[in-house]
Amino acid sequence: MNTFFVLFVGGCGLLVAVSVWRPRLIYEYPYFMGVVFAAFILPQAYGLELNNADAGYLNDTFLMCLLCLGACWLGYLPRGHPGMVAKLNGPIDPDRFLHGGIALVIVGGYFTYAFGAMDADPSMGLMTGIGTIYLFFGGLVYPGFAICFYCALKYKSSFAYMWSGISALIPIQAAVFYGRREPTVLFIFTLGMTLFFIKGIKPPRTLVAVLVAAAALVIPATGQYRQLAAEDPLEALRQTDFVGEFKNYFDANAISEVKNAMILIAATEESGRYGLGTAYWNRLIFRFVPAQFVGKEVKSGLMIGGEERDWADFVTESISFEMPSGSTVTGIGDSFNQFGFLGCLFFAAMAYLFKSLWAAANRADGMIAQILYIQTATSAMRALTHQTIDFLPGFIYSAIFVGLIALYARERVDPLAISISALSRHNSSSK
């Protein structure tokens, strides 16, 4: 058996075992990432090992998996950045904070409805044009829900509970009727982490173990569930073959994201065409520069190379292999495509960012840091399951809107009151 694969299995097992033994750790970066590695990457990697995929590139793929897993832990070891910790702390006006959350819910709900009401253009789909703008603002429901639920739990406000229920409808609908993985995880993570931050409630050990096993079974079956869930979610649950879909990972001819990563690694090594970070810049331009306003030519001009690298086209050009559509290359594949084995350092950089966020979130005035941490955690998971180039846009998106709410809700301090208070203390000390 491949040595790097054995080490990778051991690393995943260790992080999961520690998470089960000390359940509160499941909310910290190395451990929730370890669970994602174990539930998503490991079964697919075992399928490749079992079927003796191309030995040379398989060896590099397993080494990259091991390096990325190790980077998640090593990058988390230093202390959090003191400047970031300080800026993410401060007194917040509870009423203004709730008002900001409600505003996000209203805006996000409106644009989600607008997106759902669009007529699909068979030639363009909904993921281009105005649809992307609707989706951009529709996502504000999630931080809005987090803020409303946070205020409801912390201040026991019935008004906040009402808005929590209203804002929960969209993520529940996304989970039940559309089988969307990221909104589902974000919704569950929001509930769990809010209970932890405010009440100190940690998940039971048994629940953590069950969730890891359930994630491994549910993730490969989401495609089948989506096809059936729109009309009858309960019947979809009964008909979805979770075990059968999981076993497909071990079929030599099955499509898998880790296999895609191996193919992308092979194409990168064969061609020698490393992205050297261009994909991160291009994805930022793609997400935050609307062609509807600046024009396609201006947007393309801002991208290095004029456009984003299409992984399927890149693989076809490099090794004449047709990559299956509708699947991802994982953060293992795209980080290697950018920097080779040094691409694992992206996971270390994320780890350091999360260490800083975690330090800020566990301070007395860490309300904003807590909301930002919750919203960013699923972006980190997506960086592994889909591609690392998605992380920065996701983090910046959350930081912008949570930051705007923080500016609005920050308690105003009267400079005159401070001066009078300081003078009073001085006079008292003089006596």
Note whether residue 346 is domain-resident: yes
Mean pLDDT, the chain, whole residue set:
88
* Phi, psi for 64 (deg, rounded to 5): -65, -40
Confidence class of residue 414 from pLDDT cuts 50, 70 and 90?
Answer: low
Distance from C-alpha of 74 to C-alpha of 62, rounded to nearest angstrom: 18
* Model confidence pLDDT, tens digit, residues 341-351: 999 999 999 99
Distance from C-alpha of 54 to C-alpha of 51, rounded to nearest angstrom: 9
Confidence class of residue 65 from pLDDT cuts 50, 70 and 90?
Answer: very high
Residue 431 burial by CB count (10 A; 0-12/13-18/19+): exposed, middle or buried?
exposed
Tokens 């970070």 belong to 277
The pLDDT, as a whole number, for residue 413 is: 58
Question: For residue 380, what are its two tokens?
Answer: 């980190």
Confidence class of residue 12 from pLDDT cuts 50, 70 and 90?
Answer: very high
CB 283 within 8 A of CB 392: yes
CB atoms within 10 A of CB 350: 26
Q: Which residues pair with 92 in a beta bridge?
A: 410
What is 283-341 written as a DSSP string?
Answer: HHHHHHS-HHHH-HHHHHHHSTTSSPPPHHHHHHHHH---PPTT---HHHHHHHHHHGG
Q: Which residues pair with 410 in a beta bridge?
A: 92
pLDDT over 70 (residue 427): no
Confidence class of residue 99 from pLDDT cuts 50, 70 and 90?
Answer: very high
Lowest mean pLDDT among 71-80, 309-318, 329-338: 309-318
pLDDT over 70 (residue 74): yes
Note whether residue 418 is domain-resident: no
CB atoms within 10 A of CB 276: 12
Q: Find which of 68-72, 245-249, 307-311 is predicted with most confidence, using mean pLDDT.
A: 68-72
The pTM for the full model equals 0.89
CB 384 within 8 A of CB 40: yes
Greater pLDDT, 291 or 62: 62
Note whether residue 102 is domain-resident: yes
Q: What is the mean pLDDT of residues 36-52?
A: 91
Q: Could you tell me what percent of the chain has a pLDDT over 90?
A: 61
Note whether residue 88 is domain-resident: yes
CB 355 within 8 A of CB 71: no
* Model confidence pLDDT, tens digit, residues 114-139: 888 876 554 444 456 788 888 899 99
pLDDT over 70 (residue 405): yes
- Number of domains the chain contains: 1
The pLDDT, as a whole number, for residue 421 is: 47
Note whether residue 260 is domain-resident: yes
What is 375-391 written as a DSSP string?
Answer: HHHHHHHHHHHT-GGGH
Tokens 């990168």 belong to 268
Question: For residue 86, what are its two tokens?
Answer: 């300080």
The pLDDT, as a whole number, for residue 124 is: 44
Range of the domain at 345: 3-412
The pLDDT, as a whole number, for residue 424 is: 52
Note whether residue 422 is domain-resident: no
Q: Find which of 8-17, 43-52, 200-209, 422-431 is predicted with most confidence, using mean pLDDT.
A: 8-17
The pLDDT, as a whole number, for residue 55 is: 61
Q: How many CA atoms lie within 13 A of 197 on its CB side?
A: 32
pLDDT over 80 (residue 429): no
Note whether residue 323 is domain-resident: yes
* Model confidence pLDDT, tens digit, residues 168-185: 999 999 888 888 888 899
pLDDT over 90 (residue 411): no
Q: What is the mean pLDDT of residues 283-297?
A: 89
Note whether residue 427 is domain-resident: no
The pLDDT, as a whole number, for residue 128 is: 61
